[in-house]
Structure 1
Amino acid sequence: MHDIKEHIKGLTLAQTFIPGTHNSGSYILSNTGYKETLASKYIYTQDETVLNQLLHGGRYLDLRVGRYSRGQEWWLNHDIFSVHPLSDILHQIKQFVNATKEIVILDFHGFPVGKQSIYLKPYLVPHLTNERNDRNGGVISIPQVSLGQLWASDRRIVLSYNNAAISKEFNFYPPIMQKWGDKDTLPQLESYLESIMPRFCRNHDAEGRVWAAMAQLTPRALGVLLDEYGGLRRMAQVVNRQLDGWLRNRAWSPNVVAVDFLRSTAVVPLAVAANLARARAPAGNNCSYPSNPARL
């Protein structure tokens, strides 16, 4: 996004189309030679490291944290399954932010193992503090902040925590609403996304709050046990080729769109084109402009 900074610096986070990844820490690299099992088919939602997800254009990370009493205390989880140490992921994020001028949203949205803990912030901030040792660790908490203000302040880490009381106490960005269809078929997911795009765009743009459309299928427990879906990658293949067309051809106005297997979508270039179009829109009307600038 920094490449088009001069065009989009007046947009707020809620007015921006932000590409993201679902369960960002649940990744496995395809070149590691791991043997796929029934469990692994439904654990891994990405095939790139978090650093590579960011390098490929993802700017919203959906993070699910597990807290354990032994060994590494904090992990990135997919439900009850621990996948990668949180420290490794935070190192990748800091590496990217320090090497670029990009803005990154970290949504600590779920805590499937262990209690939601106020002790997470003292752990996070030292890892995220930028090289200037800013006392707020580069974290921003103002809902209506513009992209230009984020760049000017160099506080480019937007840290959100899915608990309003804790967010307020520790000056995090307000909780980000994730909109889940909880659908396991493509027609159901399409219908759900069609129903939420205009409504939630209007509501959240007015409030200056970020919201996320979770654009993936959700397998049912019995379907997983019977392997009816063939795994999350196969489910993503069904969705992603259609999602690109929906975003390109419909008058949708997404904010964050979080996907599985980011590189199998065109969500990043679509977001860039949409944001350039939104920046040209009349003041106060950014939300009504579609993803596809050809529709203007």
Structure 2
Amino acid sequence: MHLSFSLFICYNLPFLLQACPIYLTISLDAKTVQDANLEVNWGPECHDHPEWIGIFSEDPSTTYVQPEARITDITNSSGKVLSDVKIGKLRFPPGWNSNDVNVVPSEYPKGKCLPYYVASFNGSELLTVECLKIQTNWMSKLEHIAQMPLKDLFIPGTHASAAYVANLTKTKSVLVKDYVVAQHFDVWSQLVFGMRYLDFSIGFDKIVDVYDSNNADNFCIVNENKLVRPLRNVLKDIKRFVKLSHEVVILDFSSFPIGFYKHPERHSSLLHLLHEEVGDIVYTRNTSTHEEAKPCYELTIDEIRSNNKFLIILYPVQELPYPESESKILCPNWKRFSTAFMNTSEALDNMRLLFSKKHNSPVQNEGWIFQAIRSMEQSLNNNKLETAKERAAILNPKVTSWLKGPWSLTANVVALDYFSNTNIIDVAIYANMHKAFNMANKNFVNFEIVSN
């Protein structure tokens, strides 16, 4: 008699293992990051409620310290409470600040806590501890994911990534403050926190040099049809970060709303700028006619980094004249989906269709980008012109909550405005751990027992 059985290893995401998962986010209730308050979040599936949750400036599991804020009456399975603790001046560890020069930073494969901790208690018994953290090296250090194609990874990102203002208090334009700015943090800080996809809309600024239409410094970041900042400095920050971290980052040149219509030569000039600033660290595609080139979404992190390359550039190559349209440093755009003109229930229905990957889903075995955003026009449908922060404050927590279930395992790129009021980076890391574990153990152990 032959008896055969299979041994499976049960694996759950870490945030499902905790009795009551808790985490910190940064609220969108202030004009600047320094004035923003910390939010305490708990759930999902928080059934064994702690008696209280505290915010600390040091790790309460290693140091006795009084809480800066204390939250009680936790009864719901999930929730969010705005504390009165402000972020203040945010500093990263040495070497990871944008103005740190000639400082070799430490690697943090498991993340690095900033001095903002949240802990849950029953009386004086410590139950769980979490922190606001940076994830500078998560992609290059997470076990097994380097062998997975990009299309199979959950890649957290930002929409309108460079639409930020360094000092909002000095900005007089209400239009810029409330509607053009889409991120609390600059691109450097977004990468330090753990974002690995950046979305850029590009405009051509004729004022920079009216006598030279090919001047690379004419290219600016655009949002809501307004020029925000020069592109060149953003590219310099990205290059410096990936050389320090060895992380793979996707740059998506998604639209060209100002100055590009009927000007293919400006696309050529922009390609020249990309070669000049980041050409040495961009993955170079195999375009040999003797071998079918692998789509960029099929590439693994190991393949991209094999020749000290770290960037993937997505670009509408059809906009470029020949032969630039066959540039080896550009990858054709991936499929892109947006909730910009949807209300909340429509956004949920859209996610259900996309993330299910059923036969009727427009997403199958390919790279794709989900932009969880709301447009100004959509907010007017509610008879109120909501600011960018107000729109993100409503949509972001819902999207990240929906992603904490099975959808995290089918997600590819997810991009947000004002990501700081979510823990999407941790959600993506945990999902990728799960995916990598499944890949590494797909050949489960099979035992055969033979009995006479």
Q: Provide the TM-score with structure 2 as the length reference.
A: 0.56
Shift in Å, 1:165 = 6.4
- State the identity as a percent: 24
Gaps of 5+ in 2: 1-137, 209-216, 286-293, 443-452
The corresponding residue for 1:189 is 347
Shift in Å, 1:140 = 3.9
SS at structure 2 position matched to 1:182: coil
Structure-to-structure mapping, 1:1-296, within 5 angstroms: 1-29=138-166, 32-35=169-172, 37-71=174-208, 72-115=217-260, 117-129=267-279, 134=280, 137-141=281-285, 142=294, 143=296, 144-164=298-318, 166=320, 169-171=326-328, 172-199=330-357, 206=365, 209-220=366-377, 223=380, 228-252=384-408, 253-282=410-439
Moved more, 192-201 or 237-246: 192-201
Shift in Å, 1:80 = 2.0
2:252 touches 2:315 (CA, 8 Å); kept in 1? Answer: yes
**CA-atom RMSD, angstroms?**
2.8
Shift in Å, 1:215 = 0.7
Shift in Å, 1:93 = 0.8
Change (3 A) 1:204 1:145: farther
Distance of 2:300 and 2:378 partners within structure 1: 41
Gaps of 5+ in 1: 286-296
The corresponding residue for 2:128 is none
2:251 touches 2:311 (CA, 8 Å); kept in 1? Answer: yes
Aligned residue-pair number: 276
SS at structure 1 position matched to 2:411: coil
Distance of 2:185 and 2:419 partners within structure 1: 8
SS at structure 1 position matched to 2:143: helix
Instruction: State the AA in 2 paired with 1:188.
Output: E
1:30 touches 1:47 (CA, 8 Å); kept in 2? Answer: no
Moved more, 96-105 or 66-75: 66-75
Structure with greater strand share of residues:
2
Structure with greater helix share of residues:
1
Larger Rg: 2
Change (3 A) 1:170 1:14: same
The corresponding residue for 1:289 is none
Change (3 A) 1:31 1:88: same
Superimposed CA distance per residue, residues 97-143 of structure 1 (whole angstroms, 9 cap, x where no aligned partner): 121111010001100011252221111111114xxxx4xx4334342
Superimposed CA distance per residue, residues 159-196 of structure 1 (whole angstroms, 9 cap, x where no aligned partner): 11023464851121121221023334222222212221
Change (3 A) 1:251 1:180: closer
1:54 touches 1:96 (CA, 8 Å); kept in 2? Answer: yes
Change (3 A) 1:42 1:218: same
Q: Provide the TM-score with structure 1 as the length reference.
A: 0.83
RCO (CA 8 Å, sep 6+): is it higher in 1 or 2? 1
2:156 touches 2:414 (CA, 8 Å); kept in 1? Answer: yes
Moved more, 46-55 or 4-13: 4-13
